[in-house]
Amino acid sequence: MNKAITDGLVLMPPAFADGLAVWSSEQGTPGGVTYDTVATAAVVTGDADFGGCLELLKTDAVQRVRYTGETPLLPGCYLRVTARVKAISGPLPSVRISGWAGQSGGSQVTGLVETGASTALTDYGEVVEVSAIVGSGSRTGVDLIWGDPVIYGHFGLDLTGPTGGVVRIDDIQIEDVTSVFHRTMMDLVDVRDFGAIGDGVTDNSAAFQAANTAAAGRGILIPEGVYQLDSNVTLEYPARFAGTVTMPEGAHLILRRNFDLPTYAAAFGDEELGFRKAIRALTVFSDHESFDMGGRRLEVTAPIDMAAATGQTTYEIRRVVRNGQFNVVPGSAWDEDAQTSTASYDTGTPDQLTNVVNIANIAPGSLVEGTGVAREVYVTAVNVGAGSLTLSQPLHAAPSSQTYTFRRFKYVLDFSGFSKLSKFTLTDVEIHCQGVASGILLAPAGETFHLKDSFVTKPRDRGITSPGIGCQDLQIDRCHFVSDEQQTAATARVSLGFNVNANDAKIRDNRFQRFGTTMVLHGNGHLIVGNHWFQGDNVTDGPRVAGLVFTEPNVKSVVTGNYIDNSFIEWTNEHDATPDFSNEFSFGGLTITGNIFTVNDAANWFSWIVIKPFGSGHFLQGLSITGNTFKSLNGTTERVEQVDDSIADLVFGSVRNVVFDGNTFNGIGQVTQNPVTIQFDQASEATDWQVDVAGWLPFGGKAREVTGVVTEGAITNGGNADVFAMPYVTTETGASQGEVTLTWPEPVKGRVHVTARVDRPV
């Protein structure tokens, strides 16, 4: 910066040869004595050292030479005043730069240092140069620190010491030297000053590190150019990139003071590359627990391989990516890879396919399709040498050999390259899949992956996929999942919000909009709390499909406080290689409480809670459905619960510990209750009263127990006499075994209240 150039300031005083009327023997202020009226001063031309100069006889103890012009002083501007002097004859004086500080209105600013260092003249004819720097900042090298309110100065020099000597003074120079202070004044160091060359070839690693060391708290400027870095580089102070850097895939750049996507995108000249390099820095360096995308929208042209980005295969230290959007750019990079191969299956090794043809073409994370393959079975690992695939779940009825289809969806964030990943969090991000990509593919192993306060928008196939047990303790909180199938009929949709293979998922306060299926959960210990998922369509009286699918019979899970809209809970054991009951926990351990269940314009055979056994011999052994609200709009729903016995039915003679109570029913044809208390009236005398409770009992079960019979009013015989005897009870009577028989000692009539159960409490 040079104000004489940039702002047109006039700094340089005129030469002495131009006349002495502008040179004062006092302070330089208006009205002072000027040297054109002093007989002891004269202009000399042709001096051997100076050319034109001022010759002066020193007559005062402090002989001043001051320019009467007002030299402007601007904040942040630094001036150097220079004078060259030589003694001609007589006593030898000393010389120093001096000035007078002025403010608005023309008065002097007092209390300031007004003189520079003094230098003694020691020999006749020897040229001595003195200088001083004046400016507003207290910086090393500034002699006259003149800040606000100083706005101008009268500058020159002082001759001190003995009088009577004759000296000659060269033209006084005043120049802008602000550039001398740029490195400290602008709080910036330039990597070029430490040997960096932006030719895209030269290794600048050492130069960058040297600049970082010299910065000592100041910023680091990477000017225009392409700077090759062959080694790992850490910049501990704020970096500003006008140019870009290039690095080998395995090298990392750590920007400690501006660890954010805007800076990394500027550093590498590419958002996607900048993100990958930032993720590498996040996982190799412990100074940051999170990476801030800075609210930036990242245009993603291809799946981001997160393991390749980090250069690691196992990572279990908490790391967070926050505050940004991944926006998919459509293109062929998102096309699904589909392979068909013949393979063998043996229930003795239920999580493997063997003798797989063309196995090298099958990618880990592929969805498996074929006979006996249940929902959301994925390839967890590929062993090309052994010709075998590891599956995320067993197959329930697969033939010993068949042709399978393997579909590898493309995900915006692909973590499948990790063998294990734990404690990774995404927060306040949106993954906008544009209907051409899927969202997140988890690692095959790990725990506590956390997605919170985020959006997964328009995934083509899957929102979040777990190809193994990397979903252990999966946490999804306060997120929005929006499908790309809004106008598609519910039965024609193919998208899925997410799946789980392991235990202890926490799914809380989320919203899922019109997916084919919202969630498929294996494992147990899940908490499904406070969510809203809806899967309706525009088809009048259309069928509805499952929203929440449990694939393990004994789930030890809670479904509480959710809004379950135009979809149902389906409970299966489809991920069981031997699905017939065999000395195990059967369907149980599930609490469904405090939910809102609603449906509109659906077929009347729709139900919200459906149990579908994939093998024989199963029964209910611990189920609580309480405090829920069921409401059917624009039609009547016959029942809220049912068993899908298309493969196998439940064994109702073994049911125990079922509570179906405290629910409210609106637009429901048949209320469900267990235990159920009904009023029964026998109008004519009979010994056996047949009390039908089948309609009220859950899932079409048997009337297994009667826990109470209370008469209301008198029980009378044929002679209209009161009968005080009580009946004995026979359960599981009638064609459906949903009736109980009350047997009296004689034919009687009257009213009773009977409490019956579908189960036997233990």
Residue 621's contacts (CB-CB under 8 Å, 6 or more residues apart) are 554, 585, 586, 587, 588, 654, 655, 656, 657
* Confidence category of residue 223, pLDDT binned at 50, 70, 90: very high
Stretch 236-255: mean pLDDT, rounded?
A: 96
Does a structural domain hold residue 307? Answer: no
Domain end call among 296, 312, 346: 296
Does a structural domain hold residue 318? Answer: no
Same domain, 649 and 707: no
pLDDT number for residue 548: 98
Domain end call among 296, 321, 349: 296
Residues 662-697 pLDDT 10s: 999 999 999 999 999 999 999 999 999 999 999 999
Give the CA dihedral 582, 588, 589, 592, nearest 10 degrees.
Answer: 160
pLDDT number for residue 1: 44
pLDDT > 90: what percent of the chain? 92
pLDDT number for residue 736: 92
Residues 464-521 pLDDT 10s: 999 999 999 999 999 999 999 999 999 999 999 999 999 999 999 999 999 999 999 9
Looking at residue 17, which CATH number applies to its domain? 2.60.120.260
* Confidence category of residue 194, pLDDT binned at 50, 70, 90: confident
* Confidence category of residue 181, pLDDT binned at 50, 70, 90: confident
Reply yes or no on whether the pLDDT at 317 is more than 90: yes
Domain count, the chain: 5
Q: Quickly list DSSP for 398-427.
A: --SEEEEEEEE--EEEE-TT-SEE-SEEEE
Does a structural domain hold residue 462? Answer: no
Same domain, 191 and 171: no
Please, what is the average pLDDT of the chain?
A: 95
Residue 527, helix vs strand vs coil: strand
Residue 31's contacts (CB-CB under 8 Å, 6 or more residues apart) are none
pTM: 0.82
More confident residue, 576 or 2: 576
Domain end call among 357, 386, 408: 408
* Confidence category of residue 429, pLDDT binned at 50, 70, 90: very high
Does a structural domain hold residue 432? Answer: no
Round to whole Å and give the CA distance between 244 and 230: 14
Does a structural domain hold residue 268? Answer: yes
Residues 152-177 pLDDT 10s: 999 999 999 999 999 999 999 999 99
Reply yes or no on whether the pLDDT at 425 is more than 50: yes
Same domain, 540 and 487: yes
Same domain, 540 and 569: yes
Burial degree of 530 (CB within 10 A; 0-12, 13-18, 19+) = middle
Does a structural domain hold residue 367? Answer: yes
pLDDT number for residue 9: 75
Same domain, 129 and 209: no
Same domain, 656 and 687: no
For 45, the token pair is 């031309």
* Confidence category of residue 8, pLDDT binned at 50, 70, 90: low
Residues 33-77 pLDDT 10s: 999 999 999 999 999 999 999 999 999 999 999 999 999 998 878
* Confidence category of residue 5, pLDDT binned at 50, 70, 90: very low
Does a structural domain hold residue 395? Answer: yes
Reply yes or no on whether the pLDDT at 185 is more than 70: no
pLDDT number for residue 7: 55
Residues 609-652 pLDDT 10s: 999 999 999 999 999 999 999 999 998 999 999 999 999 999 99
Same domain, 342 and 235: no
Domain limits at 491? 483-666
pLDDT number for residue 255: 96
Same domain, 649 and 547: yes
Same domain, 525 and 578: yes
Does a structural domain hold residue 452? Answer: no
Same domain, 43 and 64: yes
Same domain, 509 and 584: yes
* Confidence category of residue 762, pLDDT binned at 50, 70, 90: confident
Same domain, 107 and 195: no
Stretch 79-87: mean pLDDT, rounded?
A: 97
